[in-house]
Amino acid sequence: MKQQTYGVGLVGFGVAGRHFHAPLIQATPGLELLAVASSRADAVQEALPGVEAVPKAAALFARRDIDLVVIATPNETHFPLGKAALAAGKHLVIDKPLTVSVSEARLLKAQAEKAERMLSVFHNRRWDSDFLTLQKLLEAQTLGRPVSLELRFDRFRPQVVDRWRDHHKPGSGIWYDLGAHLLDQAHVLFGMPKAIFLELAAARDKAEVDDEFLALLDYEDMRVTLQASSLVAETTPRLAVHGTRGSFVKYGADPQERWLREGRLPAPAWGEDPQPGELLLDQGEEGEVSLVRQAHPAVPGDYPAFYAGIVDALAGEAAPPVSVDQALAVMTLIEAGLDSYRQGRWIRLREEGGPRHLNGLGR
């Protein structure tokens, strides 16, 4: 049977729309990018010959040949644009985070369910090479019982540029940006933590919003540390996990973002990371410790898996690759972290017959 092709409309043509969504959509069998809503029609036509550029998102929502709308716009616009797309009967993918608040996220979830439309969120860092490698190690229990995990996302961007993420707007700052990635990774691995503690900083000269964070997640028998900064020039580990049998440390960024920014499209050997991680395992006999160090090859990264999963979900063959409930969990953690920062204390997360609720917890 011939595979159905779904028409796609993309809203937004900034970094996310141009360098992530558009090339991945075009590389996915079963999807056809028909139009892009952007004020930069010349950039759309130059980068995507044959794809129509329209000035307003409403023009995409009105088209009968568009089945799926992808929203890659500033965070504060996710809710109104998503609401309008669902009202027009479209399936929907929203770039992370889902919205700027849990309340907005719940409203979109309810609207999608009522309309019987698919809603998913582009948490693409689940398909980073280093994270897939970490998942495989944990599933195999190579390190024994994990006791601590550090996930980092450091960059050196000392200059504050004129972009929406660096201005006082709902959903701006590094916590909503890179924090959403790292929170999703932690949630995929271990579920909801018992509590969260967050520190934020605006470290750069002329910074208006947070450009550094340190978050601690309490999983009772282990601790997860999430950290990101715009002022780290020295290379730091992307992840470090320690367990009862040893440790695994990985340096070097997944290559997929760089390749997409360079204009490369998914092809054979896509996502292969040439820099292996390092395992340090206890190989000693009972009662003795004998640590053996070895290189551990990386599992290839796989951003194309997200939109391949979207095609399967649209065809009714699988659940969306990122569920709304998972995206809601990230929003809950983002808000809980902000509560922690404002109150200067741990915030406990507990479950009462459904969504998580937040309580203050002095510790």
Residues 273 and 149 in one domain: yes
Considering the domain boundaries, does residue 325 fall inside one? no
Tell me how many domains the chain contains.
Answer: 2
Average pLDDT, the chain: 93
Considering the domain boundaries, does residue 57 fall inside one? yes
Residues 139 and 107 in one domain: no
Residues 39 and 133 in one domain: no
Residues 52 and 113 in one domain: yes
* CATH classification of the domain holding 115: 3.40.50.720
* CATH classification of the domain holding 283: 3.30.360.10
Per-residue pLDDT band for 218 (boundaries 50, 70, 90) equals very high
- Distance, CA of 93 to CA of 309 (rounded, Å): 12
What pTM, to 2 d.p., does this model score? Answer: 0.93
Considering the domain boundaries, does residue 73 fall inside one? yes
Rounded (5°) CA angle 285-291-294: 125
Per-residue pLDDT band for 357 (boundaries 50, 70, 90) equals very low
Considering the domain boundaries, does residue 361 fall inside one? no
Q: What is the pLDDT of residues 166-175, one digit of tens each?
A: 888 898 999 9
Concatenating the DSSP letter of every residue in 332-363 gives HHHHHHHHHHHHTS-EEEEESSSSEEEEE---
Which residues in 2-38 are b (16+ Cβ under 10 Å) and which e? eeeebbbbbbbbbebbbbbbbbbbbbbeebbbbbbbb
Residues 134 and 116 in one domain: no
Please report the sign of the dihedral spanned by the C-alpha atoms of residue 177, residue 108, residue 216, residue 139. Answer: negative
Considering the domain boundaries, does residue 207 fall inside one? yes
Considering the domain boundaries, does residue 236 fall inside one? yes
Considering the domain boundaries, does residue 77 fall inside one? yes
Q: Give the domain range for residue 106.
A: 6-122+305-319
- Rounded to 10 degrees, the C-alpha dihedral 112/114/118/124 comes to 30
Considering the domain boundaries, does residue 356 fall inside one? no
